[in-house]
Amino acid sequence: MSLLSFKLGKVAYTVDLAVYLVAPFLAVASLFYFSEKREAIPILAAALLGFVGWTLLEYILHRFVLHHLSPFKEWHGEHHHNPTEAMGTPTLLSLLLIVGIIFLPSVYLAGWQIGGGFAMGLLLGYSIYTWLHHGEHHWRGHNKWFRNLKRAHAIHHYGHNEHNFGVVTSFWDRVFGTYTRK
């Protein structure tokens, strides 16, 4: 497995799921451990903003990068053809991008609490995305909310790949007119 290989293999794919199950908890624990109690509300507000920011970033990346920009378009196209295969962004690469492009600039620009909270929200969003996307291809829907997400994602994969880009939420698809139910 290379740092830039989209095909992860079962072990690397499972490690990725495990990392993004644990990483948000470590981020929350370290951020609050090194902060004062009075900073909790601003941290949580920044985290909420980061999470919402993730949903928009996910939509933009999926719509414009993964469907229109080489080599990402080809890698993502392979996922469309083999949706249950162990594919995705290599864990080391995604962690480096989160730290280098999100965490460090956020902390530099807004300080440990606000910047760290924002980055923590984005990390939480990415983690939820990772698990939901896995679930949309591997789990049965046991509640209406998840069945609706799973159905919208299936529509995206099978015949309407210019619609339903959101994995975590259909909100941005509805805002930008790319949501479809058929």
pLDDT digits (tens, 9 = 90+) for 108-155: 999 989 999 999 999 999 999 999 999 999 998 789 999 999 999 999
pLDDT (average), residues 171-181:
97
14 in a structural domain: yes
100 in a structural domain: yes
Residue 98 has pLDDT above 90, yes or no: yes
Residue carrying the six token digits 């902060």: 35
171 in a structural domain: no
Q: What's the one-letter identity of residue 43?
A: I
178 in a structural domain: no
Residue 3 DSSP label: T
158 in a structural domain: no
Residue carrying the six token digits 């924002």: 118
Domain count, the chain: 1
pLDDT (average), residues 68-80:
88
Cα–Cα dist 8/29, whole Å: 29
pLDDT (average), residues 2-30:
84
The boundaries of the domain holding residue 84 are 9-142
pTM, whole model, 2 decimals? 0.90
Phi, psi of 66 (to 5 degrees): -70, -20
Residue 82 DSSP label: S
53 in a structural domain: yes
125 in a structural domain: yes
